[in-house]
Amino acid sequence: MNYEVFAIACEDYEFNDNYNKLKKLLLDNNLLSFVKKDMLIAIKVNLVSASKPEKAVVTHPILVKALCKILIEMGAKVIVGDSPGGLYNESSLNNSYRKTNMNMILETNAKLNDDFSYQTINLKDGLIVKQLDGCNYLLKADAIINFAKMKTHGMMALSSCVKNMFGSVPGACKLQYHYKYPNHQDFANMLIDIQEYYKCKLHIVDAIVSMEGNGPTMGNPRKVGLILAGQNPYNIDLVCARLMNLDIVQVPTIQEAIKRKLSANSFAELSLNMNIDDYIVKDFLKIEHANNVQFYSNDSNIFKKLLGKMAKAVLTTKPQVNKKQCIGCQKCFQICPAKAITMKKNKPSINRKICIRCFCCQEFCPVGAMKTHQTFVAKIITKSKKSKN
């Protein structure tokens, strides 16, 4: 296993500075040795919503442009793309490229993906995914670079390298995956299966300004001041959790990667090129989560099973609408894969019995009215756990 994760300090998004720092990070640590003249490299960025770069939702276009310039100077051909959760077509993606300023990468002779075809692939080595829908621009590339943004995430607590490759699944097909893998552990293993299939040559994380709070689309920008890179996505995510001061027990993708022996067991096992202690954001606003609470609902003992069900009802984090903020756009109603939302008096009402806690409604609400809600009891348990740690 590769235990190395590399980082470089970077204050802000300024093209010449970003270009020099990124180049130093990648060349000094021999991370671009796979690049050959005329090879086609796809850069999978995060364009989850058509937001301005300063909102910290997307991989910052200035940093992506810097990477494009470096690769093109090495003789590669470069294509940049993503497939956000809505429609995967020309008008939707052109809107994203424009609003996120990702169009600026065209100045380097890199291209923005305009092939919106996809295919189904057989995953013979997948732990739980046996068939995967994949975007052709990624499948046709000679190499893929996964360029993530470090953020909080409603369902997975952390969005970084591992979560970013879910954008390889075309548009609305993602909803089927949410429906098929409603359990957080299965969803995490599905993400890991995708990651293992694509075997990206390089993973980079934009952690200059990350997102805290109601991520991955409606949180607040929070400066961290680093760019991270390496070849093991799980170990980079461990570093991200450290920077966000996040307990790794709360991150299902990290837990499952550890079980599958794809990741180091802890941050302490990693080898970093610099000390990142000064970059840890101690008061980073995390997503309200209760994944660290163990339930007994699968236990064969009837008493434990009952206790588990009760605990789950009282402790599970749920989506909850802030009716004052809600503008009644119906986006959550349209996107909910479990059909758990109905609109009543132009506001969403959630059927808790069928909600699968995928948090798509929270991710795609355009005004941040849908929140992750932790119950009072779960808040007390989480607080007492933290004070013990």
Sites of contact with ligand SF4 (CB under 6 A): 319, 321, 326-332, 336, 338, 340-341, 348, 350, 355-361, 365, 367, 369-370
Residue (68 or 365) nearer to ligand SF4, CB: 365
Query: What is the closest distance, in whole angstroms, from the C-beta atom of residue 335 to ligand SF4 in the complex?
Result: 6
> Residue 336 in contact with residue 343, Cβ under 8 Å?
no
Where residue 236 falls (left for φ over 0; alpha for ψ -120 to 50; beta otherwise) is alpha
Residue (257 or 356) nearer to ligand SF4, CB: 356
> Residue 228 in contact with residue 6, Cβ under 8 Å?
yes
List phi, psi (to 5°) of 347. Answer: -125, 145
Residue (111 or 184) nearer to ligand SF4, CB: 184
Residue (135 or 356) nearer to ligand SF4, CB: 356
Strands 40-44 and 143-153: parallel
Query: What is the closest distance, in whole angstroms, from the C-beta atom of residue 360 to ligand SF4 in the complex?
Result: 4
HEC string of 217-228 equals: CCCEEEEEEEEE
Residue (37 or 345) nearer to ligand SF4, CB: 345
Residue (110 or 360) nearer to ligand SF4, CB: 360
Query: What is the closest distance, in whole angstroms, from the C-beta atom of residue 131 to ligand SF4 in the complex?
Result: 23
> Residue 250 in contact with residue 294, Cβ under 8 Å?
no
> Residue 55 in contact with residue 67, Cβ under 8 Å?
no
Residue (208 or 360) nearer to ligand SF4, CB: 360
Q: Please enumerate in sequence order all residues whose Cβ is within 8 A of that of 337, keeping only pairs 6 or more positions apart, or say none.
A: 175, 176, 178, 179, 356, 358, 360
CA 382 to chain centre: 23
Residue (233 or 337) nearer to ligand SF4, CB: 337
- Cis peptide before 61, with omega less than 30 degrees from 0? no
Element (H, E) at 119: strand 118-122
Query: What is the closest distance, in whole angstroms, from the C-beta atom of residue 290 to ligand SF4 in the complex?
Result: 14
Query: What is the closest distance, in whole angstroms, from the C-beta atom of residue 333 to ligand SF4 in the complex?
Result: 6
Cα 316 from Cα 251, distance rounded (Å): 15
Pick the closest to residue 297 from 311, 286, 284 (CA basis). 311
Query: What is the closest distance, in whole angstroms, from the C-beta atom of residue 370 to ligand SF4 in the complex?
Result: 4
Residue (327 or 377) nearer to ligand SF4, CB: 327
CA dihedral angle for residue 101, residue 106, residue 110, residue 115, rounded to 10 degrees:
70
Query: What is the closest distance, in whole angstroms, from the C-beta atom of residue 165 to ligand SF4 in the complex?
Result: 21
Query: What is the closest distance, in whole angstroms, from the C-beta atom of residue 133 to ligand SF4 in the complex?
Result: 20
Query: What is the closest distance, in whole angstroms, from the C-beta atom of residue 183 to ligand SF4 in the complex?
Result: 13
Half-sphere exposure of 45 (CA within 13 A, CB side): 32
Q: Please enumerate in sequence order all residues whose Cβ is within 8 A of that of 75, keeping only pairs 6 or more positions apart, or say none.
A: 35, 36, 37, 38
